[in-house]
Amino acid sequence: MLHNERPYLCNFLGTVYENSSRQALMNILKQDGNDKLCWVSAREQWQPQETNESLKNYQDALLQSDLTLCPVGVNTECYRIYEACSYGSIPVVEDVMTAGSCGNASVYPNAPLQLLKSMDAPFIFIKNWNELPAVLEKEKTLILQEKVQRRKMLLHWYQHFKTELKMRFTNVLESSFLMNNKG
């Protein structure tokens, strides 16, 4: 569905924790009726094992949505961001620090998500889900050609990102283990 109109404006499939930004996200989607334009499937408890059916639903949601909503969970960064990239669905990433120790925003100004930002990820970063209605309104104005171009750019960026990380990882391994054994 790279070149076709996608039936859903956005998607979110996941666990909604009480008093979390995910709960705020669900409320905001319902306010303007955007939940009718998006593929939304929320559950109250995390499920450790997905079924073949739930996996297929998730993959279909990514493939059939222009945007993938990526609220923080236990951590700021999650698999959903990268899965969205692989399907050409633009991640809308909640750009806030979670309670974990993944970085300190006062020491690292790009934290959280500093690797993605340093590599110019073509995502939509938002600080608060109250920004989402404006993002969705703008999305509604895009023509298919603009969406196709953006999907291609995302897929190209993601391929480059994976290649770059592989190269960096290999270099670290080689310099850490192989260079030390030459002495």
pLDDT digits 0-9 by tens, 83-99? 999 999 999 999 988 77
Angle between helices 79-86 and 144-173 (to 10 degrees): 120
Has residue 100 got a pLDDT over 70? no
Instruction: Please indicate, yes or no, whether the overall pTM of this predicted structure exceeds 0.75.
Output: yes
> Between 75 and 114, where is the model more confident?
114
CA distance 39 to 30: 12
- Residue 99 amino acid letter: A
Has residue 156 got a pLDDT over 70? yes
pLDDT at residue 84, as a whole number = 97
Look up residue 28 and give its two tokens.
Answer: 């905001």
Half-sphere exposure of 38 (CA within 13 A, CB side): 28
Cβ contacts of residue 50 below 8 Å, gap of 6+?
Answer: 58
Can you name the residues that pair with 12 across neighbouring β-strands? Answer: 40
